[in-house]
Amino acid sequence: MNALDLTKTLIGFDTTSRGSNLALIDHVQTMIEASGGRCRRVYDSSGIKANLFATFGPEGDGGIVLSGHTDVVPVDGQDWSSDPFQAEVRDGKLYGRGACDMKGFLGVALSLLPQIATASLTRPLHFALSYDEEVGCAGVGGLLEDLKGIGLKPALAIIGEPTLMRVVGAHKGGAKLLTRCCGKEHHSSAPEKGANAVMMAGEFVMLLDDVWNGLRADPDPRFDPPHTTVQATVIHGGTAVNILARETEVTWEYRFLPDRDPDALQAMIEARAAAEILPKYRARAHQAAMTTELQARYPGLKLDEDSPAVQLARELTGANRVETVAYGTEAGLFQSYGIPAVICGPGSIEQAHQADEFVALSELQACEAFLRKVIAKASS
């Protein structure tokens, strides 16, 4: 298949993070093995999701990884003008869930299997397909641990997230957290005889906003926004308008500059909540409590303009500068395992996660030209 048709095929697999990606993995593994690639899988604990790592060329360390996640975000509640899992081309753009984030990159890379199969590779060329990137980069760690376990260390990784084919050498890290506010139920006509967990959660959200405001004083102008951010995104709690809530949950996140300490940030927030919010509610109900659970975290990608990954991407694209982004990718995890990483892929992050997500056909063509140069480099 050509890149466009293969991308359409990949979009046709509903790999929303809450479900399985095995049908897509099966399809891709069959393609890769038919072209002479050597494959390894690493499953999640349920066995319904898997990472796929494939190698062409010589055995041993080194080589270039072409990396992308297979999962996509939900389409629930979004107003699509076409079926999100039946890709369509309109006005020079390919529409479908995952078109830019990031099945376009995977489709282009896999469409080059015939060229890879016949290339005289002098160093390995690897494919890395992961699961659950969209829920905190939760899947790729298993793939990287597997490589560490077998003593295989690629020389560099190219992460094909949408950058409009620009060279991105740094991104923020991020975390997803859940804070439970526990109070005491009582009739709402006597609020001081209970502890209203919804009100407690509201004060916690205001505390997060105050922390975020304070973080503006510690900027890095290379990023937009230039500082670490903190946001509450989901709240659940309460049972009736006339009952003080016993429990409320606040889901929140922080996206931190890659050279800042996320543990210190989280500890500061928890300490402030314990000192500034909890005492008022404990005075009304001794069982009042606030607990925070770190559900997922991924590291930032620290800028290293001299890394072999950045140098290769600049050489092959002709980029005269290295850019930074605020969103997170798996590149920081590759870097944390000692594998230099760079981000360069088709499409714009502005279309990712949106209704009518698309990638311009010109972007797929530019990606194909870039990856053909990568193959040539691995054959030199």
Q: Burial, 233: exposed, middle or buried (Cβ in 10 Å; 0-12, 13-18, 19+)?
A: exposed
Active-site pick, 71, 161, 253, 363: 71
Q: Burial, 279: exposed, middle or buried (Cβ in 10 Å; 0-12, 13-18, 19+)?
A: exposed
Q: Output the six-digit token pair for 2.
A: 């050509």
CA distance 195 to 178: 20
- The single residue listed with the structure tokens 């099945």 is 103
Using alpha carbons, list the distances in angstroms from residue 281 to 149, 178, 235, 332.
49, 19, 19, 40
Alpha helices in the chain (DSSP H): 3-11, 22-34, 104-111, 113-118, 140-149, 197-215, 262-276, 278-282, 308-317, 331-336, 361-378
Active-site pick, 132, 133, 161, 330: 133
The verdict on whether 71 is a catalytic residue reads yes
Residue type, 140: V
- Cβ contact 313:373 at 8 Å: no
- Residues marked active site are found at 71, 133
